[in-house]
Amino acid sequence: MAEAVYPVPAEWAANALVDEARYHELYRRSVDEPDAFWGEMAQRISWMRPFTQVKQTSFHAADFRIRWFADGTLNLSANCLDRHLAERGDSVAILWEPDSPADPERRITYRELHEQVCRFANLLKARGVKRGDRVTLYLPMVPEAAVAMLACARIGAIHSIVFAGFSPEALAGRIEDCGSRIVVTSDEGLRGGKKVPLKANVDEALGHCAGVDTVIVLKRTGAAVAMQPGRDVDWHEGVAAQSADYPPEEMDAEDPLFILYTSGSTGKPKGVLHTTGGYAVWASLTHELVFDYRPGQIYWCAADIGWVTGHSYVVYGPLMNGGTTVMFEGVPNFPDPSRFWQVVDKFQVEIFYGAPTALRALMREGDEWVKKTSRQSLRLLGSVGEPINPEAWEWYHKVIGESRCPIVDTWWQTETGGVMITPLPGATALKPGSATRPMLGVKPALVDNDGTPIEGAGEGCLVITDSWPGQMRTVWGDHERFFQTYFTTFAGQYFTGDGCRRDADGYYWITGRIDDVINVSGHRMGTAEIESALVAHAKVAEAAVVGMPHEIKGQGIYAYVTTNAGIEPDEALRKELVQWVRHEIGPIATPDVIQFAPGLPKTRSGKIMRRILRKIAENDVSNLGDTSTLADPSVVDNLLANRPRLP
């Protein structure tokens, strides 16, 4: 079958910020003269002290460094708020849709947001938060989450957002790793009509880690929660007495802005650190060009602020660009599978940016849920977080966008700060399933397992050969781990962990992770993390976790578990282990399959042969490859004979 190609609609080519010719011209400049190019692009930001240096970067061990605009100073909250006040102080910055459609929405103008941010900044200061201090945010999708982020940026504190679906254990680990003294949370969260006991989770987490002296508690549901005198502060009471003025701190371009924990191949989640100047340029430029964004347009990114997409494309990107950003507290299928499109109609959303997993789930519910909404306001659609299969792409294009809206399939990572490979809607002909071409300034390359470059069409490991402004700067507290993780697999290049194919047109097709990271519903999970949660259970001797194909979630979690001697695995234990993992990490890590096994396939040197475990989980057992190097080949027969029925 010939590959489908969707040309740029004429209207888009004529009106977009960047058309095909301009893309090529800009791209060439961005890689040939990065200093001149980025020096110009960075003028989109309000600097307090202009920079004189632009790009100072090297991925090589001898002079490893990543610095952008290093001698400039700025404040990101001022770029999101103060600079817009004169021109559009009364336009809506945040358009908030609550979990239940029966509850009222909130419209917060730039002026109001500025005031709330200043008050909250003063409250943080009153609680002793200083420049460089870490502030952990564990909040639902409410405007106050953005207020707290921007207040941290305003005073120069570093926020670390922990997704509100993570367990108290996971929260404690993240508080401890970055040494936060302060946690901001709410009484409860509300998602899909269900309450999440956020404050109680914080209390439990603080039982496992020391050093937190302040917990600020926002009222969301009004539930009665225990407040510890001296430590716990009610948000509204706390800000009431504060001044509505807080002059933004002057930050260096390379001062840290935020930490966001993300999973890798090994060990505990890493605290990905982003700094101020480069991130500001990258998040705002990519938001403007990828979405062809002009102030006044209603833009909705459906990601949670607990993930990087929420950081860059719910809060920082759109607000730096003076936009109106929709913030949605709920879930796609509550109260029914029309919800997304009802919100689109209600707010007349023009640009919608969502995840393939949600689209696949909605697609399964049938077209009638979509068709009873208008969606006439939509002009552009986006996809992020995992590969979008061509079938879901076509449905998104045809049914949601009525063949009218281009789709920008954006590939990027927590580490990259913003979009790296993507179509630009006025420039790029689309191919369903391809993230297409590099963003300005991005130099992708494919290499084989030995690091030999692959030219032209081919498939290999995706690396980025040079720095871009939004790149992460370090792993919090472990600079060596940063270098080791990303720059040593292929010396002198940033290794993404993804596999990728490049076609004859130079289009990139991300094939998914090639390390021990799995992508479940667009959420990154380290198999090592789930394994260590399982082996922490008293009855478990050993565990190995791999991904398995899953129709809705993209990948599901398949766990092989060996119990301790004398423990008879049964259905009750299976249920107990599922609950255990949910408790240790959170519901997003719920194993889909647990297979009990008396032994795992290991080489004579004791290394688990994951290749075999993956094949069994993928139900691709006709050719398991060479098993002769296994210490005990009969282990594989046992695994094959006792495969559980897949869900």
Cα distances from 64 to residues 67, 70, 467, in angstroms, run 10, 15, 11
Owner of token pair 């390390």? 515
Is 521 annotated in some ligand binding site? Answer: yes
Segment near ligand WTA (CB under 6 A); pick from 166-174, 371-379, 404-412, 480-488: 404-412
C-beta of residue 59 within 8 angstroms of C-beta of residue 467: yes
Strands 407-410 and 232-234: unpaired
Pick between residue 384 and residue 573 the one whose CB is nearest to ligand WTA. Answer: 384
Q: Which is nearer to ligand WTA, 409 or 531 (CB)?
A: 409
Q: Pull the structure tokens for residue 144.
A: 């106050």
Residue 439 is given by DSSP the state P
Distance between CA 588 and CA 605 in Å, rounded?
33
Q: Has 592 been labeled as part of a binding site? A: no
Ranked by CB distance to ligand WTA, the top (closest) residue is 414
Tokens for 577, please give them: 């282990």
Please state the separation of Cα 60 from the chain's center in Å. 27
Give the whole-angstrom CA distance, residue 324 versus residue 575: 45
Whether 333 has a binding-site annotation, put simply, is yes
193 is in an annotated binding site: yes
Nearer to ligand WTA, 156 or 354 (CB): 354
> Contact between 413 and ligand WTA (CB under 6 A)?
yes
Residue 233 touches ligand WTA, criterion: CB under 6 A: no
1: number of Cβ within 10 Å = 3
Answer for which of 321, 338, 410, 562 binds ligand WTA (CB under 6 A) is 410
User: Which x/- pattern over 426-455 shows residues binding ligand WTA (rule: CB under 6 A)?
Assistant: ---------x--------------------
CB of 464 to ligand WTA, least distance (A): 12
Give, in order, the Cα–Cα distances in Å from 162 to each of 66, 81, 179, 260: 26, 24, 14, 8
Hey, what are 189's tokens? 């969260």
Interface with ligand WTA, residue 467, by CB under 6 A: no
Task: Name the amino acid, one letter, at 352.
Answer: F
Q: Residue 582, annotated ligand binder? A: yes
Q: Which stretch binds ligand WTA (CB under 6 A): 87-95, 145-153, 230-238, 411-419?
A: 411-419
Interaction between residue 560 and ligand WTA (CB under 6 A): no
Asked if residue 286 binds ligand WTA (CB under 6 A), the reply is: no
Rounded CA separation 145/189 (Å): 12
Residue 191 assigned ligand-binding role? yes
CA torsion through residues 306, 307, 311, 314, sign: negative
Chain length of the chain: 647
Of 95 and 384, which CB lies nearer to ligand WTA in the complex structure?
384
Rounded Cα distance between 473 and 544, Å, is 31
Does residue 386 interact with ligand WTA by CB under 6 A? Answer: yes
Confirm whether residue 387 is marked as ligand binding: yes
Position among 27, 120, 412, 487 found at the interface with ligand WTA (CB under 6 A): 412
**Min. distance of Cβ 416 from ligand WTA in angstroms?**
8
Site string for ligand WTA, 481-520 (x = CB under 6 A): ---------------xxx-----------x-xx-----x-
Tokens of 640: 């094959």
The distance of closest approach from Cβ of residue 478 to ligand WTA in the complex, given in angstroms and rounded to an integer, is: 18
Selected range binding ligand WTA among 105-113, 345-353, 377-385, 446-454, rule: CB under 6 A: 377-385
Count Cα neighbours of 603 within 13 Å in the Cβ-side half-sphere.
8
Phi, psi of 114 (to 5 degrees): -60, -45
**CA of 355: how far to CAs of 34, 103, 554, in Å?**
32, 25, 11
Q: How far is the CB of 511 from ligand WTA (least distance, A)?
A: 8
If one asks whether residue 387 binds ligand WTA (CB under 6 A), the answer comes out as yes
Instruction: Scan residues 252-271 and list those touching ligand WTA (CB under 6 A).
Output: 262
437, 508 Cβ separation under 8 angstroms:
yes
Closest-CA residue to 303 (of 269, 340, 276) = 340
C-alpha–C-alpha distance, residues 333 and 358, integer Å: 9
Total number of residues binding ligand WTA (CB under 6 A)? Answer: 24
Is 8 near ligand WTA (CB under 6 A)?
no
CA-angle at 593, arms to 592 and 594, nearest 5°:
130
What 3-state DSSP class applies to 474? strand
| Least distance CB 352 / ligand WTA (angstroms) | 15
Piece of 46-54, 158-166, 222-230, 378-386 that binds ligand WTA (CB under 6 A) = 378-386
Q: Please list every residue from 294 through 313 that binds ligand WTA, using CB under 6 A.
A: 307-309
Q: Tell me, what DSSP letter sits at residue 378?
A: -
Work out which of 411, 476, 482, 487 binds ligand WTA, going by CB under 6 A.
411
Decide if residue 524 touches ligand WTA (CB under 6 A): yes
Q: Does 384 bind ligand WTA (CB under 6 A)?
A: yes
> Nearest CA to 136 among 77, 78, 209?
209
CB–CB of 170/209 below 8 Å? no
For ligand WTA, give the closer residue by CB, 175 or 408. 408
**Residues making up the binding site for ATP:** 385-387, 409-414, 498, 513, 524
**Residues making up the binding site for CoA:** 191-194, 309, 333, 521, 582
Give the binding site for ligand WTA (CB under 6 A): 262, 307-309, 383-387, 409-414, 435, 496-498, 510, 512-513, 519, 524
**Residues making up the binding site for Mg(2+):** 535, 537, 540
